[in-house]
Amino acid sequence: MKTNATHIPVPKTKKQYFKLVETGSNFFKNEDFANALKYFSKALNYEDYQPNLLVLMSRCLFNLGMKNKAISMMEHALHQNADNPGICDILGKSCIEMSFFDLAIKFYTIYCQTCPDDPIGYCNLATAMRESGQIDESIEILQDIIPIFPESAHLWNAIGASVSFRDGYTVSQPFYEEAYRLDPTIASVVSNLSLVYTNLQQYEKAWEFAHKAIKLSPKNFMCQRALAHSSYNIGKFDDAFEALAWHNHLSNPDSVFMPYKIEHWQGQDLSGKTILVGAEQGVGDEVLLAALYPDLIREAEHVIIGCDRRLVPLFRNSFKEATIVPYKSGQHELGYKVRLYDGIEPEKIDYMCLYTEVLRHRWRSREDIPDMSAGFLSPAEDKVAYWKEKITQLPHNISVGICWTSQLQEARRAMFYAQLEDWVPVLATKNVNFINVQYGDVSEEIQNLLDKHGIVLHNFEELDLKDDFEGTAAMMKNLDLVMGAASAPVSQAATVGTQVWWVIHNNRFWESFGKEDGTYLFETALMTPKTPALTWAEFMPLFAKEEFTPWIEKKLKEKSA
């Protein structure tokens, strides 16, 4: 169906108004949000338009990537309908779906005051509070309300989500399963259970529930993400390929875009072609998935790699045949996130894509994934030599780097990381130089470790672990092992050929691609998931005794042979 906004008449009667809304709604259902918005905008000229029209327009704007305009539309709707609980409910739901959580709290606070007998209002208020960081408050509300409405699956799902943020997926399991028992047709309940089973190391069951969630809500990017991750976890590449098509969907508020008029690459042959590969997600994934670039450089005529500015020196030394360009983050005037690359000439570029799209099209099976254990990033030789001299001055023959947290510390992520204090059973191991590779201001933690336990964690203050990626890579290349959480430092060590050991929360990460004790990308890497039933403080002594100490003993024998 084609349309032109200039040919759409302004409605003068109620019948004409409803006809425009009906036509726009048909476009909306078919995800033609641009044409839907044209009809809704014309309908808005009718004097007695219905308030839900503002919701439809806001959702069109959101799905077209115009987040700022969508927020303005919702704020306008709030101003006009603060005394109408039905409209507040509609607007609040849309705000949650579009991640406008502060606005959603306002809508649902009003709604709960005017409709205290509706459990869904409390559920949505608690959801908005949780997502805005008010986790304890959301749990308190739900604890008060669930005894009044014990048969509400939505309330059980909401408290499961809040508990998972605060206490972990294992603790949240009974809440989610009660929600599923009460109503197995709620997509968010089923998707949440997929995450729970992943964290319980029940990977096949997680994949099964991700599929169920997709059947219930095939256009929900969160359900598609759950399917992509659970599919990679068990090596089901075809399912992951389909689900990853939603990875950078406009409806995902975390998506980033490159605003250039360049054809989007869909896996075509790159012989004789120039391709721009843009960066996304965090710097740890940028480093890890740079493993895609050597093959891409061999295939294409010219590869332009966009990356975090901190990676430019390391990438330029590693990928000499490619052009390395740092990105500039910005926001389009319509509201969506963009990354810009100065100096490129779009008219001379055949294709563009993000690096996860290279992964999607080029790693279609386990056999497609190269073993990069020898490393693929190359810090400058003089820097490697400098750090070799520094490391040899330490007292012991074995040097182990350690990290324990992530820069992206949020309530939902806290459970994934042990505190430095939890690592004491490992750090107490004799005849080992333990070296800090954790970026950020951790000097107080390191000093407390020395004062309380007498343990020295060597910290090279001259090295900027956060911003000097090439220097950090050069230092890590001289270590026997780097271990820690699934964050940037361990990935970076693996990329220069250093042995790594991921010590992770409950489940292997999706980049394992189905390998039980590591990843096919680095066959020599080790991976130990924490037992789900144990806290980090309970797990670390067992890990030190049963896994780390035997590894050290073996390494000492190798070095003395």
Is residue 163 very low, low, confident or very high in pLDDT (cuts 50, 70, 90)? very high
Most confident of 49-58, 76-85, 394-403: 394-403
Torsion from C-alpha of 94, 99, 103, 104, nearest 10 degrees:
60
Q: How confident is the model over 41-63, as a mean pLDDT?
A: 84
- Determine the residue type at 528: T
% of the chain with per-residue pLDDT over 90:
62
Dig out the tokens for 38 from the structure.
């044209």
pTM summary value: 0.76
Is residue 20 very low, low, confident or very high in pLDDT (cuts 50, 70, 90)? very high
177: closest CA among 211, 204, 209? 209
| Cβ-contact 287, 496 below 8 angstroms | no
Ranges 81-85, 255-259, 476-480, 482-486: which has the least confidence: 81-85
Q: How confident is the model over 25-36, as a mean pLDDT?
A: 85
Ranges 81-95, 132-146, 459-473, 534-548: which has the least confidence: 81-95
| Cβ-contact 540, 512 below 8 angstroms | no
279: closest CA among 355, 209, 208? 355
Q: How confident is the model over 522-542, as a mean pLDDT?
A: 91
Which pLDDT score, from 0 to 100, does residue 316 have? 98
411: closest CA among 125, 157, 162, 193? 162
Torsion from C-alpha of 123, 124, 130, 134, nearest 10 degrees:
-90
For every residue of 283-320, which 3-state class applies, written as one string? HHHHHHHHHHHHHHHHHCCEEEEEECHHHHHHHHHHCC
Which pLDDT score, from 0 to 100, does residue 411 have? 44
Which pLDDT score, from 0 to 100, does residue 410 have? 44
Q: How confident is the model over 435-464, as a mean pLDDT?
A: 96
Residue 516, C-beta contacts closer than 8 angstroms, at least 6 positions apart: 508
Ranges 153-167, 238-252, 532-546: which has the least confidence: 238-252
Which pLDDT score, from 0 to 100, does residue 518 have? 87
Give the chain's domains with CATH numbers. Answer: 258-364 (3.50.50), 381-560 (3.40.50.2000)
Dig out the tokens for 515 from the structure.
């390998």
Q: 383-386 — which CB contacts under 8 Å span 24+ positions?
A: 383/470, 383/471, 383/474, 384/474, 384/477, 384/478, 386/474
| Cβ-contact 433, 412 below 8 angstroms | no
- Over the stretch 478-496, which tens digit does the pLDDT of each residue have? 999 999 988 889 999 999 9
pLDDT mean across residues, the chain: 90
| Cβ-contact 1, 36 below 8 angstroms | no
Sign of the C-alpha dihedral computed for residues 499, 544, 283 and 162 taken in this order: positive
Q: Is the pLDDT of residue 429 over 70?
A: yes
Strand order in the sheet with 399-403: 433-436, 399-403, 481-484, 500-504, 526-529
